[in-house]
């Protein structure tokens, strides 16, 4: 059973009804009434040791940072601003308090960089280390953006670059395997600084939310790419009942990502389409926004919205194929293709 299928089964057991609830399960964040001008936003993310991070190569301060960044990214996907964090911490026996303090030093960095405040949480004994971060945000009622809302012939855009986090993970896993065989060998990560930071210290794109506001561009639909581009495309397509035409040659990537693809003899497209933990924003925008968006170095127009519900990829030779609805699955711990 995939994560999405389980969520649907669990949601069927709930009413989700409340007079202040606007949007429940099914988007990047829940939406509730705040005041006459704003909606409130709520989301939660959980990171587990051995599943979402590895203490062999994840420094303690970046574990706290990464957990917070993934939660904040959900608020960005709703076109909102993060305000508060609640942090629950599962602590296994033998973990010294100094290590946990370092995790919270990472949280402090998030507070300082993104203007949020950690205002509470909980601690519990656990078999393995884990963090659960709940984020509270806010957005103007006329600025909120859902996964639904895309219309045919609109622009399809993505921020930043793709595949870097997965490329960084491949290098970290390689170096861990070498270390376990010979602990005296120093890690060889020269030339991969950027993609390692994409994996170890991801940044939510609050800056892009602010920039779109400065440009006067209102996204019509949006999602973050925590599960990869292909999964994000299908999630938006399903929510809006439309499709997408994506141009492979327009997908942005860093040269270090390409280097890793070549090093592991893998197609670069696998990194760009299916690498998760990006926290970039995938969004649609009105066609009249083209000139504004085309001038932005951190925003890339990668295709357009189709009137049917097909999600297609066109390569540089003009060949067009469907993009499978695959991506990171939190239950499987791997990229899986949906059966739906």
Q: Which CATH number belongs to the domain containing residue 87 in this structure?
A: 3.30.1330.10
Calculated CA dihedral for residues 273, 277, 279, 283, nearest 10 degrees: 30
Which residues, in sequence order, are CB contacts of 6 under 8 Å at separation 6+? Answer: 331
Q: Are residues 182 and 100 in the same domain?
A: no
Question: What is the domain count for the chain?
Answer: 2
d(CA 170, CA 176): 10
Q: Are residues 119 and 170 in the same domain?
A: no
Q: Are residues 115 and 206 in the same domain?
A: no
With respect to residue 277, please indicate whether it lies within any of the assigned structural domains: yes
With respect to residue 114, please indicate whether it lies within any of the assigned structural domains: yes
Write out pLDDT tens, residues 318-330.
999 999 987 554 4
**Taking the model in full, what pTM does it have?**
0.91
With respect to residue 86, please indicate whether it lies within any of the assigned structural domains: yes
Do you know the residue count of the chain?
340
With respect to residue 105, please indicate whether it lies within any of the assigned structural domains: yes
Q: Are residues 199 and 132 in the same domain?
A: no
With respect to residue 93, please indicate whether it lies within any of the assigned structural domains: yes
Q: Give 134: exposed, middle or buried? Use CB within 10 Å, 0-12, 13-18, 19+.
A: middle
Are 123 and 91 in contact, with CB atoms under 8 Å apart?
yes
Average pLDDT, whole number, for the chain? 92
Write out pLDDT tens, residues 176-204.
999 888 888 888 899 999 999 999 999 99
Name the DSSP letter for residue 330. Answer: T
Q: Are residues 162 and 114 in the same domain?
A: no
With respect to residue 287, please indicate whether it lies within any of the assigned structural domains: yes
Q: Are residues 81 and 173 in the same domain?
A: no
Are 261 and 271 in contact, with CB atoms under 8 Å apart?
yes
């Amino acid at each position: 059973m995939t994560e999405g299928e389980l969520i649907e089964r669990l949601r069927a057991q709930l009413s989700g009804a409340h007079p202040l609830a606007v949007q429940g399960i099914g988007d990047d964040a829940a939406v509730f009434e705040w005041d006459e001008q704003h909606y409130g936003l709520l989301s939660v993310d959980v990171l587990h040791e051995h599943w979402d991070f590895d203490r062999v190569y994840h420094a303690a301060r970046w574990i706290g940072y990464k957990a917070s960044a993934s939660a904040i990214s959900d608020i960005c996907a709703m076109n909102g601003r993060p305000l508060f964090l609640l942090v629950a911490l599962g602590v296994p026996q033998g973990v010294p308090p100094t290590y946990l303090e370092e995790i919270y030093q990472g949280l402090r960095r998030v507070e300082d960089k993104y203007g949020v405040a950690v205002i509470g949480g909980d601690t519990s004994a656990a078999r393995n280390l884990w963090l659960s971060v709940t984020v509270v945000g806010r957005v103007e009622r006329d600025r909120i953006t859902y996964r639904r809302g895309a219309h045919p012939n609109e622009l399809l855009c993505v921020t930043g670059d793709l595949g870097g986090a997965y490329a960084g993970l491949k290098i970290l896993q390689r170096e861990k395997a070498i270390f376990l065989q010979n602990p005296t060998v120093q890690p060889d990560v020269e030339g991969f600084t950027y993609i390692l930071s994409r994996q170890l210290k991801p940044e939510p794109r609050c800056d892009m939310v602010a920039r779109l506001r400065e440009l006067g561009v209102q996204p019509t639909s949006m999602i973050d790419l925590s599960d990869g581009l292909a999964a994000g495309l299908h999630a938006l397509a399903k929510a809006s009942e439309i499709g997408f035409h994506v141009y492979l040659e327009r997908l942005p990537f860093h040269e270090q990502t390409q280097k890793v693809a070549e090093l592991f003899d893998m197609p670069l497209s696998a990194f760009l389409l299916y690498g998760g933990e990006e926290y970039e924003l995938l969004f649609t925008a009105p066609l009249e926004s083209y000139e504004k968006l085309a001038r932005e170095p951190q925003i890339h127009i990668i295709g357009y919205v189709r009137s049917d519900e097909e999600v297609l990829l066109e390569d540089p030779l003009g060949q067009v194929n469907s993009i499978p609805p695959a991506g990171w699955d939190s239950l499987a711990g791997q990229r899986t293709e949906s059966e739906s």
